[in-house]
Chains A and B, each alone.
Chain A
Amino acid sequence: TQLLEQSPQFLSIQEGENLTVYCNSSSVFSSLQWYRQEPGEGPVLLVTVVTGGEVKKLKRLTFQFGDARKDSSLHITAAQPGDTGLYLCAGPQTGANNLFFGTGTRLTVIP
């Protein structure tokens, strides 16, 4: 069974601070996607990483896919209150297209 564990589960920081959240698995994923979800809404795609060691930047967000494609991280620089939300990583099930989701990191950025 593929598992995606995200840490920390909860994170509360002051505006302007930097943070990193992690998505780890014992299984290899062909790709990983990061989403942000607001309460009562659908997950909004942030990025897809495909190649081991790949780094992608989206403004203040930096995503990295581990060399062995078993883990990924999301680093936010100078967090803002608008970054508040649930950050989810997801990867395709082996041999399938459907996504398996992690448990999520709930980020709160305090003004």
Chain B
Amino acid sequence: EPEVTQTPSHQVTQMGQEVILRCVPISNHLYFYWYRQILGQKVEFLVSFYNNEISEKSEIFDDQFSVERPDGSNFTLKIRSTKLEDSAMYFCASGLAGGRGNTQYFGPGTRLTVL
């Protein structure tokens, strides 16, 4: 069964460094998302991407964040200058359709630790 994959599984970085988190969505999906989950808290939406552009973003997704789909398979999340509070699990998700009943499939996550 097709699945969303993410790399790396764990990333440790120093505060102020740039990190790039990588995702390979399910191949025929058209909608792509990043979410994060701080330890012990709810899963929170960051950004959605459709038709090669950002379609929605939350207030968490500030100028330090960017997303890219550099080729037909990868979907990346870049954090330009990491802060301690960026430490979290980052989940990529993809879906075939939007609108009512849109179903999203999540990857296993990247655990980001900012020291």
Contact = CB atoms under 8 A, between A and B. Distances in A.
Main secondary structure on chain B at its contact with chain A?
strand
A68 interface: no
A101 B42 contact: yes
A55 B75 CA distance: 35
Contacts of B99: 30, 97
Interface string A1-36: 000000000000000000000000000001101010
Interface residues of B, number: 31
Contacts of A90: 43
Interface in B62-115: 89, 91, 93, 95, 98-109, 111
A84 interface: no
A43 to B, nearest CB: 5
Nearest to B33: A98
Interface residues of A, number: 25
A17 to B, nearest CB: 27
Interface string A67-111: 000000000000000000000101011001111111110000000
Contact of A43 (B31, B43, B101): B43
Nearest to B110: A42
Contacts of A103: 42
A62 B55 CA distance: 34
Contacts of B105: 45
A40 B99 CA distance: 29
A30 B97 CA distance: 14
A97 B31 contact: yes
Contacts of B93: 99
B109 A41 contact: yes
Contact of B103 (A33, A41, A88, A102): A33
